[in-house]
Amino acid sequence: MLIFGRADKVYRSQGTLIVEESKFPFNPNKYLQTFEPYPDHKLQTLLYLNSLFASESSLDSRTWFAIPHSKKAWIINVKDRKTGETIKTFKGLQTSELEQYMKDNLERFAQIVAGQTQPQHHLRQNKCAKCRVENCQHNLSPKR
């Protein structure tokens, strides 16, 4: 199983490998009262943190490389769509609990891909409204 994606920013500081992602929600105000990012946003940064990297987009494994590090950290910036201003930042180190969380999700994803288990619907109309998957039978958006 290959999961392929493009991180917004990857860098290393004092031996810590850091993946930074920016999100531009339609309604940034809902983040003002929250103290944790959405689980799928955190999962996305964890997947990048535990990946091999390539400087250019490439599916050729010969161009992939590891970035040596002593610790891993994730940062999620929530930004205003119009101004680009950061209105909230979530960040933390990759703990053993988070690593297990990522492994559990990967295992479940592999089981779904293999047809061994059924996916659960997230039941969020807004998410379906913004989704670019065509002709999805499970689309909940009234606008489709």
* Euclidean distance between CA atoms 80 and 90, whole angstroms: 15
Determine if 136 is a binding residue for ligand SF4 (CB under 6 A). Answer: yes
Please, what is the minimum distance in Å from the beta carbon of residue 136 to ligand SF4?
Answer: 3
Bridge partners (DSSP) of residue 102 are none
Please, what is the minimum distance in Å from the beta carbon of residue 112 to ligand SF4?
Answer: 12
Q: Read off the DSSP letter of residue 65.
A: B
Binding part of the chain for ligand SF4, among 8-16, 30-38, 82-90, 135-143 by CB under 6 A, reads 135-143
Cβ neighbors of 47 (< 8 A, separation 6 or more) are 3, 5, 102, 106
Q: Choose, by CB under 6 A, the member of 89, 133, 134, 135 that binds ligand SF4.
A: 133
Q: Choose, by CB under 6 A, the member of 28, 102, 127, 142 that binds ligand SF4.
A: 127
Q: Quick one: which of 135, 10, 34 has its CA closest to 90?
A: 34
Binding site for ligand SF4 (CB under 6 A): 127-128, 131, 133, 136, 138-139
